[in-house]
Amino acid sequence: MFTHSKEAAPRLIWVYAIGMGAFQGITAILALFLADKFGVTADRIWVIFTFMGTISVITRAGILGKAVDRWGEVRLSHIGMMMLALGLAAFPIMPTYVTLYFAVTLIPLGTAFTFPCVTSLLSRVISRNERGLYMGVQQTFGGLARVIVPIFAGYSYDHFGHSIPFWVSAALVMIGFFVGMGIDDPRKPNRNIASAAVA
């Protein structure tokens, strides 16, 4: 992960871990933010989480496959990260409870397009006999991110301002976006080889 960080597999693991940490960090403080800014109490908080979960399920079950066929996993993961970053950055600046749903919609869409595509790409850029190892490393780094980023999000929410965790998480996702740039879809044929074959 550190000594071969320029290779595709470690980069994809970093993308997954960074994105997962950013998403989980916000989930940890979401109820506090909604209570402080919009007065959402325990009676209504279920509406937001149910809405996010419904969007995620619909996207993964009915839209993800068609989107992968149309754009490919590399491009779709980039689209997902952009949507996730935009949703996270927009969350604290939404002026009303109604407009908040714009940001709330982008977050599950972003995660649904990003994480399955990144995992699928990882499974194809490594050899068959190393898939278990790399998938385990991916989950290890993802698990660490799920612990570290929520701790930071909670601390920064209390000490630096209610918007800071959202903007830091958005910045983390954009870092992941740039880390993943330049990774090719392994299913696409090599253009140089194809050109040589034609010649």
Predicted pLDDT at 5: 78
Nearest to 123 by CA among 43, 26, 8, 41: 8
CATH class for the region spanning 8-198: mainly alpha
Predicted pLDDT at 141: 96
Give the CA angle between residues 156, 34, 166 to the nearest 5°.
40
Q: Say if CB 183 and CB 11 are below 8 A apart.
A: yes
For residue range 70-127, list pLDDT tens digits in order: 999 999 999 999 999 999 999 999 998 888 999 999 999 999 999 999 999 999 999 8
- Output Rg (C-alpha) for the chain, integer angstroms: 18
Helices 8-38 and 100-125: crossing angle, nearest 10°? 160
pTM: 0.88
Give the CA angle between residues 82, 83, 89 to the nearest 5°.
90
Predicted pLDDT at 116: 94
Nearest to 117 by CA among 50, 176, 193: 176
Predicted pLDDT at 17: 96
Rounded distance between C-alpha atoms, residue 180 and residue 78, angstroms: 8
Residues in the chain, pLDDT under 50: 190-199
- List the domain boundaries for the chain: 8-198
